[in-house]
Structure 1
Amino acid sequence: MKKTIKEQKMVLVILLSNIFIAFLGIGLVIPVMPSFMNIMHLSGKTMGYLVAIFAVAQLLTSPFAGRWVDRYGRKKIITIGLLLFSVSELIFGLATEVLWLYLSRILGGISAAFIMPGVTAYVADITSLEERPKAMGYVSAAISTGFIIGPGVGGFIAEYGVRMPFFFAAAIAFIACISSIFILKEQLTKEQLKEISAAAKHTSFITDLRKSLNPLYIIAFIIVFVLAFGLSAYETVFSLFSDHKFGFTPKDIATIITISSIFGVVVQIFMFGKMVDILGEKKLIQLCLISGAIMAVVSTVISNFWVVLAVTCFIFLAFDLLRPALTTSLSRSAGKEQGFVAGMNSTYTSLGNIVGPAVAGILFDLNIHYPYLFAAVIMAIGLGITMMWKENPMGESLQE
C-alpha cells in the first residue's frame, strides 16, 4: 500500500522544489533581456531566437526523455536534468558571445525536457489514485509559482549585477541536484522499468502527431498553439518594448510582470470554477481571446506606468483563464485518450513557444508595435476558429 502525501512530505517537497527551480530559471531571463541586448549589441531577432531555441530543444528532446524516464528510472533523469540546468544558467551568466547564449538555452531546453516528465512520473509512482489529482495539483502550482516569481526574482537580483540572476539559478539548481541524489530513491525495480519501457515502444511521437491532425482534435490543438504563440510573443518583447519605449528599468519590468501574474493566478483560483459554470469552457475561451486581442492592441497606444500595469494585468488574466479552460475542455472530451491529449497539448504548446518568440523578435526589429499587433491578429484568427468548434465533438465520438 502506498504512503499518503503527508507521510511523504519530504520527498514531495524535493520534487516540487525541483520543478519550481526549473521554471523559476526560465523566467529569470525576461527582465534582464534588455540589459543583455544593450551590453552585447544584440538585435530583437536574436533575442526572439534565444527564447525560441529553448522551446525547440525541449520539443525535440521530450519524446526521448519520456522514454528514458521509463527505461533508466525517474531519479537519474531528474538529477541529470537539474545538473544540465545548473550548467546552462552558469554558461548564460558567463557568456560574452552570442554562441554561448544559444548553447546555454539549448541545454536549458534539454534540462526542462528531462525534469518535467521525471518529476511527473515520480509523483505518480508514490501516490495512490485517490491522492494523485491533489499531488498533480501541487506540481502545477509549483510550475505556475516558478513562472510568476521568476521574472520578479530576476529583476530584483539584477540590481546587484545583470548576470547575478543566472549565477543564483545555477547555484540553487546544483543544490537541488545534490539534495535529490541523497534524498530521492528510485521507486521502481529494474524489472518494472523494463516492463514499462517495453509497453511504451508500441507508440511513437510521429503517429501521435499524425493523429492530432484528425478533425476531432485539430481545432482544439490549434487554439493551444494560438495561446502559446500569443503569450510567448507578448512576454518575449514585453521587456524589450518597455525598455525601448518607456525606459523602464529591470526592476520596473519585474514589478509589472510579478503583479500581473499574481493577479491572474488569484482570479484563476477563486473565480475560474464559477466562470466555467456560468459561461462554459467554449464561451470563456472566446472571451479570453477577444480580451487578449483587444489588450494587445491597446498596449501599443499607452505610456503611463500604471496604465501599462493595468493593461498587462488583464492580458495575463486572459491567458491565465484561457489555459485551464482549454485544458479542462480537452480533458473532458478526451475519453480514454488522456495520455495522448496531454502529450499533444504539450507538443503544440512547444510549437507556439518556438514560433511566437521568433516571429516577435523579427517584427520588433521592423517596428516595436508590430509584435503586439500580430499577436492580436493571431488571437483573432483563433477566435474565428472557435466558431467552428462544436461542443464536445471529441467526447461524443470517443464514446461511440
Structure 2
Amino acid sequence: MEKGLKPTIGILATVPFIMVLGNSMLIPVLPAIRENLRLSLCQTGLLITAFSIPAGLVIPFAGTFSDYWGRKKIMVPALLVYGTGGLLAGLAAILCKEAAYPWLLGARIIQGIGAGGTYQLAMALAGDLIQGKERIQVLGLLEAANGLGKVVSPLAGAAVALLAWYAPFFVYGILAFPVALAVLLVAKEPPGRRRAPSIQAYRQSLQGIFKAKGVNLAVLFLAGMAVLFALFGLLSLVSDLLKKTYHYQVFHRGLVIAVPVLIMAVTAYLWGIILKRTPAKVLKWSLLGGLFLVAAGIFFFPVFPGPFLKITATALLGLGTGFVLPALNTLVTSSVPGSERGLITCLYGTVRFFGVAVGPPVFGLPVQPEGLFWSIAALLLAVLLLTAFLVKPEKVLPAAMTK
C-alpha cells in the first residue's frame, strides 16, 4: 500500500466502526428499553428494524450518487444525518419519557437513512484506491473495524446505560460528527475518476455486469444477508435470555455478547491477511466453511443447556461470520470496475442491512424454539449448497486476482 494512502484507509476504517454502533450498542440495552417503555419483545426488536430497513433502502441510491459525484460528497452528509438521528432519539427519550416509543422509532429511521451512506461507500472507496490482492487485506481491515465496533459497542452501550437507558443514543452524535470532519479533511479519492458516464452508458454497463455475473452476485448477496440475519437475530435473543432467564445485569450482558463478535472481528482481520496470500479459489471454501459453522451454531443453540454452552453456540456464529464476510467483501467489490462499484457494493450493503433488520423480530417470535432454529439452520444449509454449486470466483474476479 502506498504510504500516502494509509491515513485515508485509517479514516475509512472508522466509518464501519461508527456505523455498526447503530444496532450493536443497543442490543444489551434492549431489555432496559423494553422495561422502561413497557414494550413487547417484538416491539423492542423493531427499534433495530426501524434503523436497518431505511438504511438498506437508501444504500443503492447512495451508491449510485457516489458513482457520479464522489464517495466523500455522500459519506460526509450521511454521517451528519446519522449522528443527528441519535441525538434526536436521546432527546425524545428525555422529553417524552414513557410515551417516547413512536418518537424513538422516527429518530431511528432518520439515523438509518444516514447509515445508508457510510460503510458500503467506505468499502467502495477502498476498492477504488487499492488494487490486486492487497485489496483483500484492506477490505479485511474494514470488516475487522466493523467487527471491533460490534465488540466494543455492547460494552460501551452497557457502560453508558448505567447513567440512563437512553444515554447510548447521544454517543452516536458525539462520535459521528468528528468522523465526518475527518473524512472531509483527510480522506482522499482517486484523482480524475469523477467524469461520470451518461445514464445510458451507466445502465448498459450494469446490464452487462448482471448478465455476466448476476447469478454469482445474487448468491453472494444472499449469503451476506443470511449470516447477518442469523447473527443479529440470535444476539438480540441472547440479550433478552440473559436478563430474563439468567438474571445478568446490563454490563455483564454486554460482556457476554462481546464474546462472539470479538471472535468474528479477530477472525475477519486475520483471515483477510491469510486470504491475501492464497489462491482465489480459497475464497469459495471460506464461504462454505463459514456458512457451515453458522448453521451449526444455530442448530445446536436450542438444545444446549445453560448459558456457557449457549454462548459457545453463539461463538460458532461469530467464527463462521468472520470467515464469510472478508471473502464476500472481496468478491463483491472486485467484481466490477470503479465506475459501477458504488452501486454494486451498496446493493450488497442493502441485503446485509435487510438481514440485520429481519433477524431480531423473527428470533423474537413466540413459537417453539427448536422448530424455529432448525428451520433457520436448514435455510443456511440451502444457501451453502447454492454457494457450492453456483458461485465461481474465477468468473467474478478480474484476471489479475485469479493468478
- Aligned counterpart, 2:381: 380
Q: Deviations over 1:287-312 (max 9, x none)?
A: 43333233223322345343333332
Change (3 A) 1:228 1:213: farther
Query: Using the alignment, how far apart are the partners of 1:394 and 1:131 within structure 2?
Result: 16
Assess if the C-alpha contact under 8 Å between 2:143 and 2:265 holds in 1.
no
**Residue pairs, 1:102-117, within 5 angstroms:** 102-117=105-120
Alignment of 1:147-296 (within 5 A): 147-180=150-183, 183-184=185-186, 193=194, 195-196=195-196, 198=198, 202-203=202-203, 215=215, 217-270=217-270, 273=274, 280-296=282-298
Deviations 1:262-301 (A, max 9, x none): 2233344446748987x94555544433332332233223
Tell me if structure 2 keeps the 8 A contact 1:264–1:320: yes
Counterpart of 1:17 in structure 2 is 14
- Give, in whole Å, the separation in 1 of the partners of 2:78 and 2:60: 15
Which whole-Å deviations, capped at 9, do the CAs of 1:310-362 have from their partners, x for residues lacking one? Answer: 33222211221122344456678x4879947645433432332333334233x
Which residue does the alignment assign to 1:58? 55
Residues 380, 186 of structure 1: CA spacing in aligned structure 2 closer, same or farther, 3 A cutoff? Answer: closer
Q: Secondary structure at the match of 2:303?
A: coil
Aligned partners of 2:165 and 2:358: how far apart in 1? Answer: 27
Partner SS state of residue 300, structure 1: helix
Tell me by how many angstroms 1:395 deviates: 5.3
**What amino acid maps onto 2:223 in structure 1?**
I
Q: Which 10-residue stretch deviates more, 53-62 or 335-344?
A: 335-344
RMSD: 4.2
TM-score w.r.t. length of structure 2: 0.78
Tell me, yes or no, if the aligned pair for 2:16 and 2:143 is still in contact at 8 Å.
no
Question: Aligned partners of 1:208, 1:34: CA distance in 2, in Å?
Answer: 48
- For structure 1, the residue ranges without an aligned partner over 5 or more in a row are none
Question: Does structure 2 retain, via aligned residues, the 8 Å contact 1:217–1:394?
Answer: no
Alpha-carbon distance in 2 for matches of 1:139, 1:131: 15
Partner of 1:307: 309
Counterparts of 1:11-90 in structure 2, within 5 Å, are 11-90=8-87
* Inter-partner Cα distance in structure 2 for 1:200 and 1:29: 43
1:346 is aligned to 349
- Unaligned 5+ segments in structure 2 are none
| Alignment map for 1:104-143 (pairs within 5 Å) | 104-120=107-123, 123=126, 127=129, 129=131, 133=135, 135-143=138-146
Which residue does the alignment assign to 1:320?
322
Tell me the distance in 2 between the aligned counterparts of 1:327 and 1:15: 15
Query: Matched residue of 2:248: which SS?
Result: coil
Q: Deviations over 1:13-54 (max 9, x none)?
A: 444334422223432111111111111122222233322232
Which of residues 275, 299, 307 in structure 2 aligns to 1:297? 299
The structural deviation recorded for 1:383 is 3.6
My pick for the range that moved more, 67-76 or 138-147, is 67-76
Question: Which amino acid in 2 is paired with 1:196?
Answer: A
Q: Give the superposition deviation at 1:218.
A: 4.0
Q: How big is the shift at 1:64?
A: 1.9
Aligned residue for 1:98? 101
Kindly indicate whether the alpha-carbon contact (under 8 Å) linking 1:51 and 1:236 is maintained by their aligned counterparts in 2: no
Residues 234, 16 of structure 1: alpha-carbon distance in 2 compared, 3 angstrom cutoff:
same
For 1:92 and 1:267, locate their aligned partners in 2 and report how far apart those are by CA, in whole Å. Answer: 33
1:223 CA displacement: 3.0
Structure 2: which amino acid aligns with 1:148?
V
Q: Matches of 1:234 and 1:336 in 2, distance apart?
A: 36
- Percent of aligned positions with the same letter in both sequences? 22
> Which whole-Å CA distance do the structure 1 matches of 2:120 and 2:308 have between them?
39
Give CA-to-partner distance per residue, 1:144-163, whole Å, 9 cap, x none. Answer: 32222222211222223222
